[in-house]
Amino acid sequence: MNDFLSVFFSQIFEWWYFRKYGTSFIEQVSVSHLRPLLGGVDSSSPNNSNTSNGEADSSRQSVSECKVWRNPLNLFRGAEYNRYTWVTGREPLTYYDMNLSAQDHQTFFTCDSDHLRPADAIMQKAWRERNPQARISAAHEALELEDCATAYILLAEEEATTIVEAERLFKQALKAGEGCYRRSQQLQHHGTQYETQHSKRDLIEDTNVLVYIKRRLAMCSRKLGRTREAVKMMRDLMKEFPLLSMFNIHENLLESLLELQNYADVQAVLAKYDDISLPKSATICYTAALLKARAVSDKFSPEAASRRGLSTAEMNAVEAIHRAVEFNPHVPKYLLEMKSLILPPEHILKRGDSEAIAYAFFHLQHWKRVEGALNLLHCTWEGTFRMIPYPLEKGHLFYPYPICTETADRELLPTVFHEVSVYPKKELPFFILFTAGLCSFTAMLALLTHQFPELMGVFAKAFLSTLFAPLNFIMEKVESILPSSLWHQLTRI
């Protein structure tokens, strides 16, 4: 009896452990603790040393892939996010996301010498304020003292209720920011040693401010329909500051070029940034797939392809789609409108659901514009998972899929009204379910038999008689139909 109960509770624990951690407790104990004791790992062997180094490299890669990045296409908080809140009553941004933005602003727009200038000292405190109204009031207070570029930035981002108003404030910020940038350059070249030391810090801050303003002005032009002007501004900005890749301006440029349907220039940008030595993104991978699909999608038919096989161009397009899906498997469901979109967050996790939302929000229209592209994606994207049956252990073209994406995406996305996409799905194997059910049923029968032996005996007889009733009925019918002599001979045989 005790054996049955121990098996029952062990199976319940095994089921709970698998649901919580996604792995078997018995397997985990065997691999982590029993195998070293039984001599399964030889720390002195070079092979194991190489393996451990590989695992360490994979672990480091996983940690880097779980880094949260600034969304290069993030919306304006006052003119877009707040308008959504006013209309729907829902908060599109999480506290964690807004806190990361506050840290970004402090990193980009402040330096150690800000306390020497009254307006910058006020703005240094403003970026740390949690209350939006307090931040806006501090920005107005700083502007009363002087033309402060960062104060205009804050007002354009948070107080402006339209893109036109935000653009006007960013133009004022540009005028003030260019003046500060020129002064910092002059001090660096012609100032004393003390001034030069401080001007280097100011120059970095002023450079960040200037790049941020110009990028946001380009985004305003894109949103207001002046796409060619936006493309020119982005190209000029990338030429003027080629080393500032942290802003990922090329992703803004790709989206604008796709809007113009200038696919030759899109390919030129991809040739520069879709390099093995550079970090990837959903924008890079899926834009490359879109260009490959564009060449064949208008004439693609799954029935014809199954009969004659895929051509070289179709194979290249399918491989590009598989590559993109392996990098971020959450995107296709949004592009195919199998999941509803929400406003993208201000920060994204590469290869996560947040990046998929940010990409699909801006690029779905470009996929729809290419005839047959979504049909080709629909027919081929699930084939990726056959190439990587165990994505958390081994990848095909990229590193194994990081296991931290679900946790980070739940912090970045408003889970109140959005169901976070999880890959791969944690599903219980049939063996565990069957074993748990069988052991539970056996333990329950043993317990009832021990407590109520007579009652369970009556129940068992009734159950068996009911179970064999159809068989007895069939036997009686056979006896009544067959002649008695033939039945006698059959029974003798």
DSSP letters for 136-163: HHHHHHHHHHS--HHHHHHIIIII--SH
Measured between alpha carbons, how far is 144 from 128 in angstroms, rounded to an integer?
Answer: 20
The b/e string for 56-73 (b: 16+ C-beta within 10 A; e otherwise) is eebeeebeebbebbebbb
DSSP of 99-133 = HHHHHHHHHHH--GGGGGSHHHHHHHHHTT-SSHH
Is the Cβ–Cβ distance between 73 and 396 less than 8 Å? no
* Better-predicted residue by pLDDT, 227 or 16: 227
Q: Does 416 score more than 50 pLDDT?
A: yes
Element housing 418 (H / E): none
Q: What is the mean pLDDT of the chain?
A: 82
Q: What percentage of the chain reaches a pLDDT higher than 70?
A: 79
Q: Which amino acid is at 138?
A: A
Query: Sorting pLDDT into bands at 50, 70 and 90, what band is 14?
Result: low
A 10 A CB-CB count for 445 gives 14
Query: Sorting pLDDT into bands at 50, 70 and 90, what band is 389?
Result: confident
Measured between alpha carbons, how far is 439 from 421 in angstroms, rounded to an integer?
Answer: 34
Q: Kindly give the residue spans of alpha helices, DSSP state H, lying in 260-404.
A: 263-273, 282-294, 302-308, 312-327, 331-335, 353-369, 373-380, 384-387
> What does the pLDDT read at residue 485?
63
| Omega of the bond leading into 391 within 30 degrees of 0 (cis) | no
Is the Cβ–Cβ distance between 424 and 401 less than 8 Å? yes
**Helix, strand, coil percent content, the chain, rounded in steps of 5:** 75, 0, 25
Q: What is the pTM of this model?
A: 0.74
Is the Cβ–Cβ distance between 383 and 113 less than 8 Å? no
Q: What are the structure tokens assigned to 486, written together?
A: 């033939």
In the chain, what is the greatest distance between 2 CA atoms, to the nearest angstrom? 126
Q: What percentage of the chain reaches a pLDDT higher than 90?
A: 45
In the numeric block, the tokens 């195919």 are attached to: 336
Strand stretches in 341-467, DSSP E = 347-349
Q: Does 7 score more than 80 pLDDT?
A: no
In degrees, to the nearest 5, what angle opens at C-alpha 358 toward C-alphas 354 and 364?
A: 130
Region 145-165: what's the mean pLDDT?
A: 93
Which residues make beta-bridge pairs with 347? Answer: 70
Q: Does 475 score more than 60 pLDDT?
A: yes
Tens digit of each residue's pLDDT (9 = 90 or more) over 264-304:
999 999 999 988 878 889 999 999 999 999 999 888 888 88
> What does the pLDDT read at residue 451?
84
C-alpha separations of 164 from 17, 157, 213, 429 in Å: 54, 12, 15, 55
Region 458-478: what's the mean pLDDT?
A: 81
CB-based contacts of 142, cutoff 8 Å, min separation 6? 118, 119, 120, 122, 123, 126, 148, 150, 151
